[in-house]
Structure 1
Amino acid sequence: MKYPGLTESQRLVALLEDALARETRLWKAPVFKNGRIQGTDISQDQHQDVILWLGELSRLFKFCTETYALGVCILNRLLASVKAQPKYLRCIAITSLILAAKTNEEDEVIASVKDLAVRSGCNFSTAEILRMERIILDKLQWDLYTATPIDFIHIVSSGCLIFST
C-alpha cells in the first residue's frame, strides 16, 4: 500500500494498523476443549502434528515462510468454522498450503496439484484436493489473506531498522 505524504514512521504505523484491522476482521482460531477442537473429533495432538507436517511440506516444496504461515492461518480459520473429521485433516491441511502458495508464490514455484499430492504422500487424489479447495474457498468467502505473524514481524523489524539509524 502506498501512503503518500507520510513519514517513514507514520507509514509503518499505518501498515501495522491495516494489518491489525484485517486480522481483527478475519482471524479465527480453533477452540480446544477437553483436548479436542470444539465441535470435532480432532485432537490437539493431531492439530499439532498436521501443522508440523505442513512445515515439512513447505520446506519440501521450497515455499517461503510467508506461505507456510498463511497456510496455517487458512487451516485454522477453516477448522474454527466447520466440523471437520480427522480423516480429512491432512486433505484440509495440504489444500490450505496449496491455496496459500497460490496466493503468495510465483507461478513457476508451484507444481501441479497432482505432483504436490504425490510428493506429499497425503494419500488424497487430485480430485479430492480440488474439491476441498472449493469447500475452503466457499467457507472462507474467497478471502484467504489474513495478517499472519510473519507480517507483523516484517512490519516491526522494518520499524526497528528505521528507528535504530
Structure 2
Amino acid sequence: MIDTVTGSGPVPFAVQLKALLDREVHYQPKLSGLRLIEGANDNGLRMTARLREFEVKDLLSLTRFFGFCSETFSLAVSLLDRFLSVMKIQPKHLSCVGLCCFYIAVKSSEEERNVPLANDLIRITQNRFTVSDMMRMEKIVMEKLYWKVKAPTALHFLRLFHSQVQAQLDSDGRKLLSLDRLEAQLKACHCSFVFSKIKPSLLALALLSLEAQEQHDAEHAEKIAEAMKSLQQQLSIRDGDLVCVRELVGKCLVEYATTKFSKPNGQRLRWIISGRTQRQLKPSYYKIAHLPTIPETAC
C-alpha cells in the first residue's frame, strides 16, 4: 500500500497530501519516452499511443471480468506507462508486458485468495506466451522500475480530494459528487494516452473540478467552489493548467461514451477459462460485451 503517516488518530488532510505529493514526482513516467511513443509511426514495428490505448482497454475489461477493485486497474496502468516510457518494446511483446503489469497490480492490491494463477490469466486472454515467458517479463518489468510498485495514482488523489470536499458539505451537498461516478470517469481517462503525461494530482483535480462545474445546485455551488479553489491553491496549480486538463477530460468522456469507443474487439473478449477459474468467478463476469459505462447520476 501507499506509505502513510501512522498515529493514534486520523491523519490530517495536509499530511496525507504532502505524503502523496512527495512520492508523486518519483513515480512519473519518463516524459521523453512517452513523447517517442506519441510520435511513432503506426507501422507495426514500433510502440504507439494507439497500441497502448488498446492494451489498457483490454486491462479494464479484464479488471471487470474478475471484479477487481479500481486501485488494481489504476496501478496496472501506472506500471504499464512507467515501463513503456523507459523501454522500447516491440508491439508483439505488448500483451505480455501488459498482462505482467496487471498481474503485479493484482498481487499488490487484491486479497491473496482472489489472485488467479498466471496460467489462468494466459488462457483467459488467449495469449500464446507461456508462464515462463510471463515470469521472465515480470522480472524485467520489476527491475526496470527498480522494484517500486506502489505508486501514488490519480485514484489516491481523487479519493483524498473527494473526501476533503465532502467534509465541507452538509448531508444534502454530499450527494452531489458521486465517488463511484468519478472513479468510472478516471478509468475512462486511463484509456486515453494523453493523460499518461499529466501528473496524477492534476488529473484528479481536473476530474473533480469538471464534475463540480456541472453541478447546478445553487444551494451548495458556492461551498463546492470554495473547496475546489482551496485544493487548487494547496497544489499550486495554475488556472490555465487546470482549465486545459479539464477540457481534455471533458473531451475524453464524450468520446468514451460513444459506441465505437466503448466496444473493443469482440474476438479479444471471448476469453477461455478453466473449470477452476469459472468456479471462482461471480456469475455476472462470465460474459463481458463492452467496457463499463459511467453512471449518469449519483447513487
TM-score of the two chains, using structure 2 as the length reference: 0.50
2:27 maps to: 26
Quick one: distance in 2 between partners of 1:24 and 1:71? 18
* Contact 2:72/2:106, CA 8 A, preserved across alignment: yes
Task: Give the corresponding residue for 2:153.
Answer: 148
Residue 97 of structure 2: aligned partner: 92
Distance 1:5 1:133 in 2: 38
CA distance in structure 1 between the aligned counterparts of 2:165 and 2:65, rounded to whole angstroms? 32
Structure 1 residues 82 and 162, CA, compared in 2 at 3 Å: closer, same or farther? same
Q: How does 1:112-127 map to 2 (within 5 A)?
A: 112-127=117-132
What residue is the counterpart of 2:54 in the other structure? Answer: 49
Following superposition, which runs of at least 4 residues in structure 1 exceed 6 angstroms of deviation? none
Return the alpha-carbon distance in structure 1 between the equivalents of residues 138 and 69 of structure 2. Answer: 20
Match of residue 111 from structure 1: 116
Higher mean alpha-carbon deviation, 155-164 vs 95-104, is at 155-164
Judge conservation of contact 1:36–1:44 (CA < 8 Å) in 2.
no
CA contact (8 A) 1:3 1:11 kept: no
Where do 1:10-89 residues align within 5 Å? 11-29=12-30, 30-31=34-35, 32-35=37-40, 41-89=46-94
Measure, in 1, the Cα distance between the counterparts of 2:54 and 2:126.
15
CA distance in 1, matches of 2:139, 2:39: 31
1 CA distance for matches of 2:145 and 2:122?
22
Unaligned runs of 5+ in 2: 171-299
Q: 1:56 to 1:12 in 2, by over 3 A?
A: same
Would the alpha carbon gap of residues 45 and 51 (structure 1) be closer, same or farther in structure 2, given more than 3 Å must change? same
SS of equivalent residue, structure 1 residue 137? helix
C-alpha separation in 2, matches of 1:4 and 1:113:
38
Check 1:46–1:100 CA distance in 2 against 1; reply closer, same or farther (3 A cut). Answer: same
Q: Is the 8 A contact 2:47 2:88 kept in 1?
A: no
Deviations 1:96-126 (A, max 9, x none): 0000011111001111111111112222211
**% identical equivalent positions:** 25
Tell me which of the two structures has the higher relative contact order, counting C-alpha pairs closer than 8 angstroms and 6 or more residues apart.
1
- The structural deviation recorded for 1:144 is 0.8
**TM-score, with length taken from structure 1:** 0.89
Letter of the 1:122 counterpart: N
Aligned residue pairs total 161
Larger Rg: 2
Q: SS of the residue aligned with 2:12?
A: helix
How much is the aligned-residue C-alpha RMSD, in angstroms?
A: 2.1
The C-alpha deviation readout for 1:21-80, integer Å capped at 9, x for no partner, is 11111211522442459xx81122111101101101111122111100000000000001
Q: Show structure 1 runs of 5+ residues with no match.
A: none
Quick one: distance in 1 between partners of 2:55 and 2:99? 9
In the alignment, the residues of structure 1 paired with residue 39 and residue 111 of structure 2 have an alpha-carbon distance, to the nearest angstrom, of 41
